[in-house]
Structure 1
Amino acid sequence: MHLRTLSGHHAPWGAAVEVTNSTESGRPIGLRDSAWERDFNLLWTGSAISQIGTMNATLTAPLLALLLTNSPVFAGWVTAAGTLPRILLHLPVGVLVDRSDGHRVMIVSLVVRAALAILLTASVILFGGLPSLLLLAVAAQGVCLVFYNTAETTIIPRLIPNIHLPQAMAKNEGRIHAAGLLGRPLGGLLFDMSRWLPFAADALASSVSIFALLRMRKQEFKPSAERRPLRLATLTRELQAGLAFLSGDRFLRPVLIVCTLANFFFQTLGLLLVLLAHQQRLSSLAIGCLVASTALGGVLGSLTAPYLLRKVSPQRAVVMCVWSWLLLSFAVAVVDHNSSFYLLLVLPLAWGGIGYTGAHINVVLALYQAECVPKELLGRVTSASRFFSGSAVPLGALASGYIVAGLGTQGAAVLVAGAVAVGALILAISATPARATEQRPEFTT
């Protein structure tokens, strides 16, 4: 699990971490018969389809690498190729997106992704697959994802009236978790049918997304002010402006620290779940279902988050979620790890609960950033947040094996609980009247 609003990456063991008043027809009040609603629905649909294509390709690229080379090392390089660009490029991409038309950036990113997917499909059909091309294409697609996700973050506040942002943010959060639930199984199924099918499906998904974005009526999302020509000194200065806002915001700063800590150590819980299931000789399908509990929790969390957010401040909502993490982590640490009760009930419930509360934090942060961060800084603040918290995901995944090997499953769980306790302490120390309280976003519809 990881916090996707901050990180933007997919954790190895699953998905992370709408204010809707329904009418009789089940549609949210205020989302009916408006020009922006049509555009948002097109944006949401296009992004959802694109995300499912991305998830299925993310799963199948390392599988193809293994089949082509029979080398776990090369498969690891392919996995890293898709992850590292997203981490390393977040900071400069934020500057570039803030200087550009976000809608156009998204379309160009999708066009390049579709071309790369078509190239991979052709290479598998004609040559059975080319390892070097696979590595380069996965890396380039990772770069495209950075541009697409950052640009999407910047255009939503320009597209949607502030009073309806809670619906939009929660709907986006649910979309991300649902794509994780659907995309991974779809990728495995298509790959079993034929090696080229997942990449063809990714190309088709990108093409459908391009069509959806081109149908949006509002297609101008240019920066509000003219920018100076981009030079190294200008890039550095504009990047520093985003970092300065992030470090000076008394709500975002401690929450970013806690989310980075959580992203790192929760990778250990995901590994524990897989290792213990493997020791109990559960089938791959059963292990996949257990791992998917966090994505299911995220979907449910995205549906219920708005009801909490209408009643409490952003700061209090985050504190409640982190204390929930602490209770869940404590349960994982104290229950007997050798029992079937632990594997089949405690771990999945804790893992799903972490995803459930993580979805609440994701919605809070997305909404806070959309309403309280100046629009001309939004790309840089978002990308800086994702750089720090996103870097914790692969580093935590790498460290998790050493943690479990060195401390054992029980000791590793205790360490995770201790790390979450530190996060709760950080929030408690920072719980003074903060900028977040002064600028509380409006959660009512």
Structure 2
Amino acid sequence: MHAPVSARLSADFNKLWTAAAVSNVGDGVTMVAGPLLMASITDNPALIAGAVFAQQLPWLLFALISGAFVDRLDRRRLVVAVNLVRAAALTGLTVTVATGTVTIAVIYAVLFLLGIGETLADTAMGALLPAVVPPEKLPSANARLYATFTIGNQFVAKPLGAWLFVVSAAVPFGLDALTFAVAAALLSGIRPVPGPVEPQPRRSLRLDIVEGVRWLWRHRLLRTLALSMGLGNVAFGAAFAVFVLYCRQRLGLSDVEFGFLLTAFAVGGLFGSTIATRATALFGSAALLRAGLVVEVVTHAILAVTTEPWVAATVLVVFSVHAVVWGITVASVRQRAVPSHLRGRVGSVYGLLDLGGAALGSLVGGMLATTWTITTPFWIAAVVMGAVTVLVWRPMGAAAG
């Protein structure tokens, strides 16, 4: 039996891990309550997908700039400050929901602000982890973080968020605000780490950004993974931007049942976090990454066809196993390969392709569902991922080895 990861890692990692655990619960609650709030105001697929797009748009607009600042500033203090701002924004949303004054514009504005915070905090957290965890323990640390995300964000938070929304629409957002404040307090207790940038004349942001882009482009493995997942997330974002309407109209689920269906992601994600390291050793990263691409094609195709909730749940379990295994593999490779002074910028380029692709997909998905049917985005996502699989099959094998 393996010893708990926390027993083998530093006290600073435990603080970082606990902060992630707390904020993951809040994020998961909002991830369910947000679409339900939008669906309670409008049944227009484009407007509902627009809320997803509003939170993801900052990755297209600010990801590269945020990465440059992450490599210039104290990463620990940056995450603390961003979490406090996000707590304040969610507190404002909570008040408007509680007083019945919330509007679509208010929701969009708050989600956009949260998205800006994500470009800074997520990039900084990814760059901060290697400073508190030895390189040989990064896979274990990432597995622990992914397992925590799965349990807190999906197992606990999804049904909790749906239930809290039914009880009172404002409560889920107030809870999320509180979790950001608690996470900020925990992260402020991490010991300061050496600055990522050596003392030298400050260059322009443009030159810093170009350096990060150029480094990623020259790294064959990370370039292949980033481009593959960027295109994959366009497909995923298009399909899942209207998932709440898909569950209501196609599967016939209630709001609470919608929350429970989302826990299917947690079942697969938790399993994926426990097998990722051993699966990579057994099958090799190339085989796992290729299999993941096939899983994405099959996932979209089956969801486009089925009307049975149990079939959808089964598919989501398998999909989330792939997503977590892929995420742990890629995160560990990137954290080991990228020099400390470039982690923010390279991570931001990856985030731009990854989450920026999801943002574009969300925008497209809403328009597709409005123009045709609720399953159209899933059909198109299956075709797109099929093409991606064919295009990167050989390079993926050669790159991952």
TM-score by length of 1: 0.77
Match of 2:365 among 396, 400, 405: 400
Asked if the contact 1:265–1:396 (Cα under 8 Å) also holds between the matched residues in 2, the reply is yes
Identity of aligned residues (%): 23
Q: 1:78 to 1:287 in 2, by over 3 A?
A: closer
Contact preservation (8 Å) 1:63, 1:75: no
The one-letter code matched in structure 2 to 1:48 is: A
SS in 1 for 2:314: helix
Moved more, 267-276 or 395-404: 267-276
Counterpart of 2:313 (choices 348, 365, 375) is 348
5 Å-filtered alignment, 1:311-326, equals: 311-326=282-297
Counterpart residue number, 1:14: none
Using the alignment, how far apart are the partners of 1:395 and 1:285 within structure 2?
28
How much does 1:253 deviate?
1.6
How far apart are 1:77 and its partner, in Å? 5.5
- Equivalent position to 2:210, from 215, 219, 240: 240
The structure whose residues are more often helix, as a share, is: 2
Match of 1:187 in 2: 161
Question: How many residue pairs align between the two structures?
Answer: 397
Q: Which of the numbers 91, 101, 105 marks the counterpart of 2:64?
A: 91
Q: Report the Cα offset of residue 429 of structure 1.
A: 2.8
Q: Distance in 2 between matches of 1:223 and 1:251?
A: 24
Which whole-Å deviations, capped at 9, do the CAs of 1:215-250 have from their partners, x for residues lacking one?
A: 33x2224214125335xxx11111111111111111
Encode CA deviations 1:245-276: one digit per residue, 9 max, x unaligned: 11111111222222122222234654589637
1:422 to 384, 387, 390: 387
1:390 aligns with 2:351: no
Shift of 1:371: 0.4
Do the aligned partners of 1:274 and 1:291 also contact (CA within 8 Å) in 2? Answer: no
State the distance in 1 between where 2:335 and 2:375 align.
40
- AA aligned opposite 2:133: I
2:185 to 211, 235, 248: 211
Gapped regions of structure 2 (runs ≥ 5): none
> Given the superposition, is the C-alpha separation of residues 176 and 87 from structure 1 closer, same or farther in structure 2, using an over 3 Å criterion?
farther
Aligned partners of 1:326 and 1:420 also within 8 Å: yes
Question: Residue 123 of structure 2 contacts residue 344 of structure 2 at CA under 8 Å; is this kept in 1?
Answer: yes
For 2:239 and 2:322, locate their aligned partners in 1 and report how far apart those are by CA, in whole Å: 16
Go from structure 1 to structure 2 and tell me whether the alpha carbon gap of 1:433 and 1:120 turns closer, same or farther (over 3 Å shift): closer
One-letter code aligned to 1:358? A
Shift of 1:139: 2.6
Please, which moves more after superposition, 240-249 or 133-142? 133-142
Gaps of 5+ in 1: 1-20, 438-445
The reply on whether 1:116 has 2:89 as its aligned counterpart is: yes
Asked if structure 2 preserves the Cα contact closer than 8 Å seen for 1:260 and 1:392, the reply is yes
Picking from 247, 264, 272, the partner of 2:234 is 264
Letter in 1 for 2:319: I
Larger Rg: 1
> Which residue type is aligned with residue 179 of structure 2?
A
Contact 1:102–1:221 (CA under 8 A) maintained in structure 2: no
Question: 2:200 aligned with 1:200, yes or no?
Answer: no
Offset at residue 368 of structure 1 (A): 0.4
Matching residue of 2:252: 281
Q: Distance in 1 between matches of 2:163 and 2:389?
A: 41
Of 61, 73, 80, which aligns to 1:107? 80
TM-score for both structures, normalised by structure 2: 0.85
The CA deviation string for residues 67-120 of structure 1, in whole angstroms up to 9 with x for no partner, is 7x7696876665543332243211100000011111111111112222333344
Partner AA of 2:359 in structure 1: P
1:166 positional shift: 0.8
Cα contact 2:32–2:259 (8 A) shared by 1? no
Supply the RMSD in Å over aligned alpha carbons: 3.3
CA contact (8 A) 1:51 1:176 kept: yes
Task: Indicate conservation of the 8 Å contact 1:239/1:380, yes or no.
Answer: yes
